[in-house]
Every structure is written in C-alpha cells, then in structure tokens.
A and B are shown apart, each in its own frame.
Chain A
Amino acid sequence: MNFQLNQTVEFSKNKPSYLFLRGAVDILPLSISIIPWAILAGSMAIHAGLSFSKALAMSGLVFAGAAQLVSLSMVMEGASVFTIYLTIFFLTAQHFIYALTLRNDISILSLPKRLSLGFLLTDELFAVSAPLEKRRSEYLLGAGLSFYLFWVVFSLAGILLATVIPNLLNYHLDFSIIAIFIAMIVPLCKGYPVVAGVLTTCLSGFLFKLYQIEGAILLSGLIGMLAAVLTEKIRMGE
C-alpha cells in the first residue's frame, strides 16, 4: 500500500502541470528581485521620450533588461542605429552559449515550444535550468512565463508611474540579483575545474570590463570555461 502511494506521488511529480508550477515557483526569488529593474526600464523608456505603446513594446518584445536600459541611454546620447544594434548584439551574446548548453533538451521540441523557450531564454531562466534534471520543457516554460509576467507587469507599473517614482538606482537594488546568482553558483562549484573556471572568469571579466572590451561577459565566460576544461585535463594527466 505504502509502496503504491509513493509511486503515485512520484508519478504526479512528473506531471506536466506540476513541472510547470514548480518552474514558476522556483524562479520567484529572481522574479521578485528584478521588480525594481522592470520599474526602472519602464520609467526610463518614458523619460527617453517613448510613447506608451513603444515603452511597453520595449519590455514586452525585447525582454532583456540590460539591453533595454543600454539602448535607451544610447538613444538619449544620440548614438547611431548601427552602433546601438552592434552594442546590443555583443551585450546579449552570452545567450548563444545558453542555447548551446540547452540545445539537446530544447531542439527536439515542437516549433511553438522551441520558439517560446527561445524568446523566454533570459539570464535568469538559464540560471534555474543549470541542474540537468530541471531541463524539462514544462518546467522551463513555467519558469520563463512567470518571469516574463513579472517583467511586463512591473515595467507597466514603471511606465504609468514614471513621473512619481524616485531614482531607484540610489538604493543599490542590483545587489539582490548578484546575491541570488552567487548563492546559485556556489553549489555548482564542485571540484577543482569549476573553481578554476569561476576564478578565471572573475579575473578576466574584471580586466575586460576595465578596458571596456565589447562582449566582456561572453569572452570572460568562455575563457573561464576553457580554464575549467584545461584544469580537468591537467588533473587527469596526473
């Protein structure tokens, strides 16, 4: 009897609706900590002179916090369209690696699911998909959609309240995302290769940013990944 009961519990844990909900819940800490950024992205679009529908389209269609804020400030500084496009391409280039990492799990899905997950594949969704067993389409869709909902709703709040909200940048709210990412990275650091990779990324990321090299995130990530593989090889050779 007990055995049967356990089995049904196991089974229900793999049900699509359970996985969907589980994903939506797992990403909540990240969704909550991007609320100030969503508000900022919305209000900044209005301050940059965008109409209501354009401001909403920035969050609803581009759906990339850093890209939205950087492109808006570049528009205000009068940069050319080509420069802005090129900057945003490099700024979001780490997504190529996210897609490569998840390729085995997502490329086998139907076209609508693939397109949806592609659209929803943010830094945050990639972060929750790091453990192999979490890479189920329903789980990722649940996490991605709940994150998207937060982003759009709170961007809308920022758009509507653009004139009354204080400058959120003064409150250092960006640390909350860093704290969550660090708390997620630490459990992944099992063994010397990962530690070597992470430390190499720290050092190279700092230097690239200091010398204002385009695509610093992607480059330093790749160098760290290479350092991890080399460490693995050296240790195997011993």
Chain B
Amino acid sequence: MSWFMILGLAAIVFFNRYYFLEPKVKIKMPLIMNKMLYYSAPCLLTAICIPVIFFDGDHFRGMVNNPYIYAAIFCVVTAIYLKKVLLSVIASLGFFYFINFLINY
C-alpha cells in the first residue's frame, strides 16, 4: 500500500465526516429530511449492528446456530428491563460466551 493510497483513504473518510459540518456548504434540506434526522441515531446504529449479527464478512452466519442472534435478543430484553447500559452489556457478554460455548462444544 502506497503513501498515496493511505493519504487518499484518509482524505475520503475525512471528507465524508466533515462535509456537512462546514457552514459554507449551503444545504436546502427538504422538510422530510429534517424530520428524518431526528431518527438518525437509533436507525444508523442499528444499521451498523445488523451486518455483524448476521454475517461474518460476506458469509451468512445462519439462524439457529448463530450465538449473535440469541445474545442480541438477550441484550434488547435486559436493556429494556435493567435500564442500565453497562450492566446489560456485561450480562449480554456473559450470555454470548455461554451460548457460544454451548453451540461449539
């Protein structure tokens, strides 16, 4: 990988991150887009999780033998009832490795 490629990658990622933070970039956003942005955090964070839960690279992890699905559901349920982020994360990690152990051995 050349320096040219590394700097190009850095520039692309920075451009994507910075572009709409620049006040000189004038945007006329349709009203619906403004309303949509209100929901950007839950939807985009979900969009990041889905590929990891169901796929290993481009390879489908399956459904029944996939510990990621069970642990993700467990995490949703504990987050709803415990209402504590850190506690539900730790409980879900424990659950994940337990299920992983059950499936693999």
The chain A residues found within 8 Å of chain B, CB to CB, are 29, 48-50, 54, 57-58, 61-64, 67-68, 71-72, 75, 81, 84-85, 88-89, 92-103, 106-108, 114-115, 117-119, 121, 123, 126-127, 130, 172, 174-189, 193-194, 197-198, 201-202, 205-206, 209-210, 212, 216-218, 220-222, 224-226, 228-229, 232
Contacts and interface: CB of A to CB of B under 8 A. Distances in A.
Nearest to A188: B42
Contacts of B67: 172
A101 B41 contact: yes
B21 A117 contact: yes
A92 B76 CA distance: 26
A164 B9 CA distance: 28
Given A107-B23, A181-B48, A198-B46, A225 B39 contact: yes
Contact of A81 (B5, B17, B41): B5
A185 B45 contact: yes
A221 B85 contact: no
Contact of A100 (B37, B49, B52): B37
A14 to B, nearest CB: 23
Contacts of B60: 210
Given A107-B22, A221-B40, A228-B36, A209 B72 contact: no
Given A212-B58, A225-B39, A183 B89 contact: yes
Given A68-B9, A209-B55, 13 more contacts: A58-B9, A63-B13, A71-B1, A98-B17, A121-B21, A179-B89, A181-B48, A181-B49, A189-B42, A205-B50, A224-B42, A224-B43, A226-B32
A121 B18 CA distance: 8
Nearest to B81: A186
Contacts of A216: 47, 51
Contacts of A205: 46-47, 50-51
Given A81-B5, A114-B22, A175-B68, A183 B45 contact: no
Contacts, number: 248
Given A108-B23, A209-B55, A95 B41 contact: no
Given A85-B12, A218-B47, A97 B54 contact: no
Contact of A194 (B16, B39, B58): B39
Contact of A92 (B12, B41, B96): B12
Contacts of A114: 18, 21-22
A178 B49 contact: yes
Given A179-B92, A205-B47, A224-B47, A185 B42 contact: yes
A96 B20 contact: yes
B96 A183 contact: no
Contact of B47 (A88, A94, A96): A94
Given A62-B9, A99-B17, A228-B43, A180 B1 contact: no
